[in-house]
Structure 1
Amino acid sequence: MPFVRTLLGDIDPEEMGVTYSHEHIVCRPPYWQEKGEDDLLLDDPVKSLEDVKRFVQAGGKTIVDATCHDYGRDVPAVAEIARQAGIHVIGTAGLNKGFLWSARRPGSDETFAEWIERLTLEELTRFVADEVEVGMEGTPYRAGQVKFGTGYNSISPLEEKVLRAVARAHHETGAPVHSHTEAGTMALEQIELLKEEGVDLRHVSFGHMDRNPDTYYHLKIAETGAYLCFDGIGKVKYYPESVRIACILELVRHGHEQQILVSGDTARKSYYRSYGNGLGLGYILEKWVPRFIEEAEKAGFDGKRLVHLFLVENPRRCFTFKKGA
C-alpha cells in the first residue's frame, strides 16, 4: 500500500490535504547559534505552535519540515506541535549544505565537516537510512524524506559525498528526495550526480527554484520529471510575486503543472507572525493563493485547479514512498 511517513506515523497519501512542501517549525542551527544570529533561531515551540494553528485555520493539513541534522532539529517539540495542532508533519533525514558544517555537532567535539569526512560513504548512508527507518536523533520519530544540499554555484567534495549517501538511502528506504539548491543554483549538476547513482528524478524535489527565476533552467529540470519547489513565497526581498507567478505559469504552459510545489521556507523569527509580526504561516493560503488564482485566470488558466494541484495533488505524489520500508 502507498504511504506517506509523518512524525506521528504512516498515513494514506489521501489524508495529506493542503500541504506546504518546505517549512521550518522549530530549529536552532548550530552554525547560526555560533554566529549569534538570533533571527535564524526558531527556538520557542509555543510561538511556533501559534503560527501552525494559523495555517490550520486557513485550511492547511500537512507541513513538510525540511529541518535536517545540521540545522538544529528539535524533533520531539515538532512532534508535539503536530499533536496539539492536529496536523501531519513530515520530517527530514540527511544534511543541508556545506557552509553550515564548520559548526560543532551537538554533544560532540567534532565539526559536522570532520564527522562527514570521517564516516565512510556506507556509514553515512546508514545514518541517513536509519533516520527514516528507526528514528531521528535517538527518538522514535521517523523521517519522511531524505535531503542533501550544495553551495552557491559549487558542489564541494563533502557535499557530493552527502548527495551520494542520500541517493543510496533513498534506494534502500524508498523515501522521497529533497535537494537544497543555494540561491537556486546547481540543480542540473546535482541531477548528473543523481543519475550516476541511478535515482529516478521523478522521486526528487528541487528547492528554492524561485531564487533563480530562469525559465530555461526550470524547463531543463522539469524535463527530467522532477518536482520544482517554489518555496520563497512572500520573500519579495529576492523577487516580487509577479516574477515567481510568471515562472510558475510558464512551466504550466509547457505542460509541467503536475511537478510544481509551493511553500514559504519560513525559517526566521521575522517571517513568523508569532515571533516577529511577519507574514506568518497563514500568508500563502490567505493572501497568495487568491492573488495567484486571479493572475492565472487573467492568463487563461483555471487558477483554482492549479492551486489544488500545487497544494494537494502534487505533494501527495511527491511525498509518497516508492516501496515498502
Structure 2
Amino acid sequence: MSFVRLMTGDIKPEQMGFTYSHEHIVCRPGHWMERGDMDLILDDVHKGEEEVLAAKKCGVDTIVDATAIDYGRDPQAVYDISVSTGMQIIGTAGFNKGFLWDAKMPGRDCTYNDWIEKSSEKELTDFVIKEVTEGMQGTKIKGGQVKFGTGYNSISPLEIKTIRAVCRAHLATGAPIHSHTEAGTMALEQMQYLKEEGVNLHHVSFGHMDRNPDSYMHLKVADTGAFLCFDGIAKVKYNPESIRIQCILELVKRGYQRQILVSGDTARRSYYHSYSYAVGLPYIKKTWVPRLIEEAENRGINGEKLIEDIFINNPKECFTFKKVN
C-alpha cells in the first residue's frame, strides 16, 4: 500500500493536496546559535504557528519541513503546530551538511562531527531507520523523508558516510530521499554514491536547484528521473524570479514537467512575515503562482496544469514511500 508519512500519521498520497516541498518552521541550529546569528534561528513556536496558519488559510495543504537533527530540529514543536493549524507536515530524518556539524550536540560534550566520525555506517543507518520507523529525538513522531547534504563544490569523507547511511535507510524503509546541495552544487557528483548504493534516482529530490541556474546541469539531473526542487522563491538577493521561472520552463519545454518541485526554504526570520513583516509563507501561493501561470501561458504552456503538477501531482509522487526491495 502506498502512503505518505506525516508527523501526525500516514495518509494516502491523494490526500496531500497543494504542497510546499521544502520549508523550515522551528529550528535552533547550534552552528548559528553559537555564532549569535539570530536571523537563522526560528525559535518562537507561536510565530511559527502564525505563519503556518496564514499559509493554510491561503490554500496550502501540506508542508515538508526539511529540518534535520543537526539543524536544530524540534519535532514536538512542529507536530504541535500541525495539530493546532490543521496543516499536514512531513518531518525529516537524517542529516544536513558538513560545516554545521561543528556545533555541540544538545546535552552532550561532543559535536555532531564527533558523533558522525565515531559512528559506523551501520550505526548511522540504524539511527536514520529508527527516526523513520519509531520516532525522532525520543518522540513517537516519525520522519517522512530521509536527508543528506554536501558543502559548496565539495563532498567530505564524513558527508559520503552520511550519504551511504541515508541511502541504506531508504532501501530499508522506502522513505523518499532529499539532497541538500549547497548553492546548487554537487548534485551530479552525489549521484555516484547513490548509484553505488543501488538507489533509484526517481526516489530522490535535489534541493536548491535555483541557486545554480544552469539549465545544462538541471537537464542532466532530470535525465536520471530525479526530482528538482526550486526552493528559493522570493529570495531575489540570489536570483530574480525571472531566472527561476526561465529554468523551470526550460525543463517543461524538454518534457520534465512531472519532476519539478517548488518551495521557499523559508529558514530565516527575515523571510517570515510573523518575525519581520516579510512576504512569508503565503507568498508562493498568493503571488508567485499567478505569475508562473501568466509566464507559462505567454509561452504556449498550460499554466493551470503546470501548477497542478508542481504543487499537487509531483509532490504526491515524490513523497510517497516506495517498496524498494
TM-score (norm 1): 0.99
Whole-angstrom distance in 2 between the partners of 1:14 and 1:270:
34
The amino acid that maps onto 1:223 is D
Shift of 1:13: 0.6
**Contact 2:272 2:279 (C-alpha < 8 Å) held by counterparts:** yes
Unmatched segments (≥5 aa) in structure 1: none
Whole-angstrom distance in 2 between the partners of 1:74 and 1:229:
23
Percentage identity across paired residues of the two chains: 64
The equivalent residue for 2:118 is: 118
Which residues in structure 2 correspond to 1:179-218 (within 5 Å)?
A: 179-218=179-218
TM-score (norm 2): 0.99
Report the secondary structure of 1:114's partner residue: helix
Residue 273 of structure 2 corresponds to residue 278 of structure 1: no
The equivalent residue for 1:88 is: 88
The equivalent residue for 2:29 is: 29
Whole-angstrom distance in 2 between the partners of 1:127 and 1:21:
24
The equivalent residue for 1:219 is: 219
Shift of 1:183: 0.2
Q: After the TM superposition, which segments of 4 or more aligned residues of structure 1 sit over 6 Å from their partners?
A: none
Residue 87 of structure 2 corresponds to residue 79 of structure 1: no
The equivalent residue for 2:170 is: 170
The amino acid that maps onto 1:126 is D
The amino acid that maps onto 1:279 is V
The equivalent residue for 1:240 is: 240
Whole-angstrom distance in 1 between the partners of 2:299 and 2:242:
12
Whole-angstrom distance in 2 between the partners of 1:170 and 1:123:
15
Q: How many residues are treated as equivalent by the alignment?
A: 325
Residue 108 of structure 2 corresponds to residue 108 of structure 1: yes
Whole-angstrom distance in 1 between the partners of 2:118 and 2:324:
31
Which residues in structure 2 correspond to 1:15-54 (within 5 Å)?
A: 15-54=15-54
Whole-angstrom distance in 1 between the partners of 2:47 and 2:323:
37
The equivalent residue for 1:265 is: 265
Shift of 1:54: 1.0
Whole-angstrom distance in 1 between the partners of 2:117 and 2:192:
22
Report the secondary structure of 1:239's partner residue: coil
Report the secondary structure of 2:295's partner residue: helix
Deviations 1:62-110 (A, max 9, x none): 0000000100011111001000110110000000000001111111111
Whole-angstrom distance in 2 between the partners of 1:21 and 1:8:
17
Report the secondary structure of 1:59's partner residue: coil
Residue 14 of structure 2 corresponds to residue 14 of structure 1: yes
Whole-angstrom distance in 1 between the partners of 2:32 and 2:94:
19
Report the secondary structure of 1:64's partner residue: strand
Whole-angstrom distance in 1 between the partners of 2:276 and 2:27:
16
Whole-angstrom distance in 2 between the partners of 1:19 and 1:284:
11
Whole-angstrom distance in 1 between the partners of 2:276 and 2:248:
29
Whole-angstrom distance in 2 between the partners of 1:307 and 1:318:
15
Whole-angstrom distance in 1 between the partners of 2:324 and 2:219:
32
The amino acid that maps onto 1:263 is S
Shift of 1:323: 2.5
Whole-angstrom distance in 1 between the partners of 2:239 and 2:277:
21
Shift of 1:324: 9.2
Whole-angstrom distance in 1 between the partners of 2:111 and 2:87:
34
The amino acid that maps onto 2:305 is R
Residue 43 of structure 2 corresponds to residue 66 of structure 1: no
Whole-angstrom distance in 2 between the partners of 1:26 and 1:217:
32
**Contact 2:21 2:261 (C-alpha < 8 Å) held by counterparts:** yes
**Contact 2:53 2:87 (C-alpha < 8 Å) held by counterparts:** no
Whole-angstrom distance in 2 between the partners of 1:254 and 1:24:
31
Whole-angstrom distance in 2 between the partners of 1:219 and 1:246:
13
Report the secondary structure of 2:190's partner residue: helix
Shift of 1:209: 0.1
Whole-angstrom distance in 2 between the partners of 1:48 and 1:104:
24
The amino acid that maps onto 2:118 is R
Report the secondary structure of 1:55's partner residue: helix
Whole-angstrom distance in 1 between the partners of 2:84 and 2:15:
18
The equivalent residue for 1:57 is: 57
Shift of 1:162: 0.3
Which residues in structure 2 correspond to 1:292-311 (within 5 Å)?
A: 292-311=292-311
**Contact 2:209 2:218 (C-alpha < 8 Å) held by counterparts:** yes
The amino acid that maps onto 1:264 is G
**Contact 2:82 2:89 (C-alpha < 8 Å) held by counterparts:** yes
Shift of 1:279: 1.0
Whole-angstrom distance in 2 between the partners of 1:284 and 1:245:
13
Report the secondary structure of 1:205's partner residue: strand
Residue 314 of structure 2 corresponds to residue 314 of structure 1: yes
Whole-angstrom distance in 2 between the partners of 1:308 and 1:288:
14
Whole-angstrom distance in 2 between the partners of 1:42 and 1:127:
25
Whole-angstrom distance in 2 between the partners of 1:9 and 1:244:
34
